[in-house]
Amino acid sequence: MSALATASAPAPVEAPQARARIFSGIQPSGIVHLGNDLGAVRNYVRLQSEYEAIYCIVDYHALTSTHDADLLRERTREMAASLLALGLDPERCTLFVQSHRPEHTELAWLLATVTPVSWLERTPTYKEKREQQPNDINHGLLTYPVLQAADIVIYKATLVPVGKDQAAHLELSREIVRSFNNRYGDTFPQPQAVYTEAPVVLGTDGVRKMSKSLGNTIDILGPPELIRKQVTSMVTDTKRILRTDPGRPEVCNVCRLHRFFGPDFEEIWEGERTARTGCVDTKKLLADRIVAHYSPARERFLELIANPSLVERILESGADRLRPKAEATMAEVRAKMGLRSGSWTQAACSL
């Protein structure tokens, strides 16, 4: 340090910079699959040290497709155990269950009043769900994106790590925010999506995105034999009929996934291109690597599943930690919309 610096008045202590807040939700619809991890959860883990990270298991959303109470409870615990096993650290991020902060549904109602029905009817996922569950086209399916917007903006999060399938929903959240802000004054920031290097992971059919509801998943925390069976069933390059035919790794889902499980994927691609290796060899190698990669996480997952009270404590404490933020936003919003006296605004803005 220079003499001049030591002689001068102590440097003013800089106020700690608030870290940007991120939020993401995941449905408790079974154990996590490879698409969830490569498309979103890897980013959850990576971003938890850089940002103020809030991650939510969205059980209210799951109710639009699951009506079995015990199953929902079990899946919620399983999803929490999966996320913790994959690297979410409750010391560095907040993990909670959506229904433990019921303010989300109140805000969803308020946001619904500034959301035209036509925006919701044109949502691609709504159209897909109508086809997937024609006997249960419930109101929640239509308003799903409004609740999703509420989940994000109740914490005024600015960044949302998700897979590309969520792009339309996120755009809708931004539209809802603009609609609210135009009517009631600047209240919410417009959230932005953050993608991984694998924003869309295709399923074992090699055509549609990997998704629990499509039954084309690789269940990364499942038993090794299940993973091997799922990888073996994967559709590869459909034009490669004979073992001696040269392959096209750029269109082969198995080859594309090798990119994420080892530094030698170019060599693997070359083997396919020159027919030095066959699809069966490439699949076997991929299965071995996926099993090995997720084996420590699977062990942690099994430990956590055997200790439900630990998982429940983590989730409860996450929801408690968020209470002041959720309540502050609700107080501000109620005041702006004329639901409470204006004096609530001041308390809200101080948080």
Give the interface with ligand ADP as residue ranges (CB under 6 A). 26-27, 29, 35-36, 39-40, 162-163, 165-166, 199-201, 209-213
Cα–Cα distances in angstroms (integers) from residue 350 to residues 101, 157, 321, 325, 328, in the given order: 21, 17, 17, 11, 9
Instruction: Identify the H or E element spanning 44.
Output: helix 42-47
Cα–Cα distance measured from residue 24 to residue 132, given in angstroms and rounded to the nearest whole number: 24
Q: Closer to ligand ADP at the Cβ: 215 or 342?
A: 215
Q: Are strands 52-57 and 93-97 parallel, antiparallel or unpaired?
A: parallel
Q: Which residue has the tokens 């997937």?
A: 132
Q: Closer to ligand ADP at the Cβ: 103 or 165?
A: 165
Least distance in angstroms from the C-beta of 268 to ligand ADP: 21
Catalytic residue among 127, 156, 164, 212: 212
> Is 212 in the active site?
yes
H-only helix segments in 306-341: 308-337
Cβ neighbours for 62, distance < 8 A, ≥ 6 positions apart = 27, 28, 29, 72, 75, 76
Cα–Cα distance measured from residue 143 to residue 315, given in angstroms and rounded to the nearest whole number: 26
DSSP state letter for 201: -
- The amino acid occupying position 180 is F
Cα–Cα distance measured from residue 122 to residue 169, given in angstroms and rounded to the nearest whole number: 11
Cα–Cα distances in angstroms (integers) from residue 295 to residues 5, 283, 290, in the given order: 54, 18, 8
Tokens linked to 86: 């994959």
**CB-count burial class (<10 Å; 0-12, 13-18, 19+) for 182:** exposed
Q: Closer to ligand ADP at the Cβ: 29 or 236?
A: 29
Q: Closer to ligand ADP at the Cβ: 51 or 344?
A: 51
Q: Closer to ligand ADP at the Cβ: 57 or 335?
A: 57
- Using CB positions, name the residue nearest to ligand ADP: 39
Q: Closer to ligand ADP at the Cβ: 212 or 228?
A: 212
Q: Smallest Cα–Cα separation from 34: which of 196, 265, 146?
A: 196
What's the CA dihedral at 241, 242, 248, 253 to 10 degrees?
Answer: 60
DSSP state letter for 115: S
Least distance in angstroms from the C-beta of 166 to ligand ADP: 4
For the annotated catalytic residues, the residue numbers are 129, 209, 212
